[in-house]
Amino acid sequence: MKRRTGTILVTALAVAAAAFFALPASAETAAFSVQSSWSNGYQAQVTVTNDRPTAISTWTVQLTLPAGTTIGQSWNSTLATSGSTYTFTPAGWNASIPAGGTTSFGFIATGTGRPTACLVNGQACSGGTTPSPSPSAPSPSPGGTPVQVNGQLKVCGTKLCNESGQAVQLKGMSTHGIQWFPSCYTGTALDWLAGDWNADLFRISMYVQEDGYETDPAGFTAKVNALVEEATARGMYALIDFHILTPGDPAFNLERAKTFFAQVSARHAAKKNVLYEIANEPNGVSWAQIKNYADQVIPVIRGNDPDGVVIVGTRGWSSLGVSEGGNSAEIVINPVSAGNVMYAFHFYAASHKDNYRAEVERAAASLPLFVTEFGTVTYTGDGAVDTASTTAWLDLLDRLKIGYANWTFSDASEGSAALKPGTCAAGAFGGTSVLTESGALLRNRLRA
């Protein structure tokens, strides 16, 4: 991102009406957008963007509302109220913003009044209000964004279908662990992913162990919610991944899963773009144990979101059992006790080849499958890109109309990363020079 001024820019991800406080070019600015509204209130969002060449360690946004309008609920921020002035400071995890990076917060207002004044890190924002689109959200393509085109998804037979009942294939990228690479998932990064890569899908990978959710449930839930909002603003589908890996028995995290999915499904139930992946890679357990877990977690989601598509991990690191000597027959004869459900399959192209492809082809005749994670390298996530096997896999998935998310949209020092090391810290989200071999392959495939 090129530096325009040494300022902090607060922008909004406009979905509905927006108000813009016009100021001199050298001053800090604030833009405000309404994401949804009703007769006596509205939901709004503000995104803080650090346009400086160096990171900032904290931020403060103050909004003044007219009489009769109040704010009672906010997220991804700490809210303090003094009369008609509302001060938003970081929730903790989102205090530091790298150069070119962003963070977002939102709130619910009771009343219809829009902000009449704004302060950003102590600098006044004032002036008239005029409609303004978000400078950070890309313009929809002529046919509309993926969500505008397809609406609420559903499972029909063995396929994922759109609102009109037509089979669709979502294609996109997965985050790495959001605890390790936060600077890779800024507004600018998602603009690039949606607008340049043409990604339909953004998988949000929230590790449960490995310094993940179990260390700070509220903080990680807030991070996931923020990324769902970012994907929503760009018209992408958001896949919430409850990333269990070690231990491989999902029952170990059953109560955590119930708590987490109760909260995120309640938050996003009204959205049309959210899918739920309830167990990333079960391993060392039977399909019966995985099914028992799913049969307990899915009703929690359904209690809030009766329409959301749920994806269930399969035996053997989501290999349909192949990596543990099994196959998909065990699922076919004993499916999950719920509708609108798909089954996960994962592969790493340099390690998993013809026998895995044959099982996917066989299973796809009976089961709705979604490749929620795959890599172009070995199962370790590292090593050389296997272009031939990756191409064979993607050709198969395209032919069978099976959606996929690539591991990973990150700058990790490993072969599966799409971005070269240092890309995210630099905020260098654009062009092709920052792409790894894997990233270039996936970007070309998504754009095609």
Judgement on whether residues 223 and 98 belong to the same structural domain of the protein: no
pLDDT in tens, the chain (448 residues): 222 223 333 333 333 333 333 333 333 444 677 767 677 777 777 877 766 678 878 878 888 888 889 998 787 788 888 888 888 888 877 788 777 667 777 788 888 888 877 777 776 644 233 233 333 344 444 468 999 999 999 999 999 999 999 999 999 999 999 999 999 999 999 999 999 999 999 999 999 999 999 999 999 999 999 999 999 999 999 999 999 999 999 999 999 999 999 999 999 999 999 999 999 999 999 999 999 999 999 999 999 999 999 999 999 999 999 999 999 999 999 999 899 999 999 999 999 999 999 999 999 999 999 999 999 999 999 999 999 999 999 999 999 999 999 999 999 999 999 999 999 999 999 999 999 999 999 999 999 8
The answer to whether residues 31 and 21 touch, using CB atoms and an 8 Å cutoff, is yes
Instruction: Indicate whether 141 belongs to any domain.
Output: no
In a domain, 118, yes or no: yes
Domain containing residue 12: 8-130
Tell me how far apart the alpha carbons of residues 311 and 305 are, in angstroms, rounded to a whole number: 14
Query: Which tokens in the block code for residue 345?
Result: 């399959």
Q: Which tokens in the block code for residue 394?
A: 């993607």
Is residue 75 domain-resident? yes
Predicted pLDDT at 34: 73
Would you say residue 22 lies in a domain? yes
Tally of domains in the chain: 2
Same domain, 155 and 120: no
The verdict on 268 and 199 lying in the same domain is: yes
The question of whether 277 is a catalytic residue gets the answer: no
Q: Specify whether 301 is located in the same domain as 372.
A: yes
Give the number of other Cβ atoms within 10 Å of residue 246's Cβ.
13
* Side-by-side strand order, sheet with 78-82: 78-82, 85-89, 61-64, 117-120, 123-125
Pairing of strands 70-75, 102-110: antiparallel
**Helix pair angle (387-400, 354-363), 10° resolution:** 10
* CATH number of the structural domain spanning residue 55: 2.60.40.290
Same domain, 167 and 113: no
Alpha-carbon span 382 to 393, nearest angstrom: 18
* Alpha-helix runs per DSSP H in 270-386: 287-302, 315-318, 329-332, 354-363
pLDDT at 97: 77
Active site residue 373: yes
Query: Are 120 and 193 members of one domain?
Result: no
| Residue 3 counted as domain residue | no
Dmax (CA) for the chain in angstroms is 67
- Of the candidates 365, 321, 376, which has an alpha carbon nearest to the alpha carbon of residue 345? 321
| Candidates 229, 277, 359, 373; catalytic one | 373
Strand segments (E) across 111-176: 117-120, 123-125, 129-130, 154-156, 159-161, 171-174
392 and 260 in a common domain: yes
Are 108 and 178 members of one domain?
no
pLDDT at 122: 73
- Choosing from 281, 330, 359, 414, the catalytic residue is 281
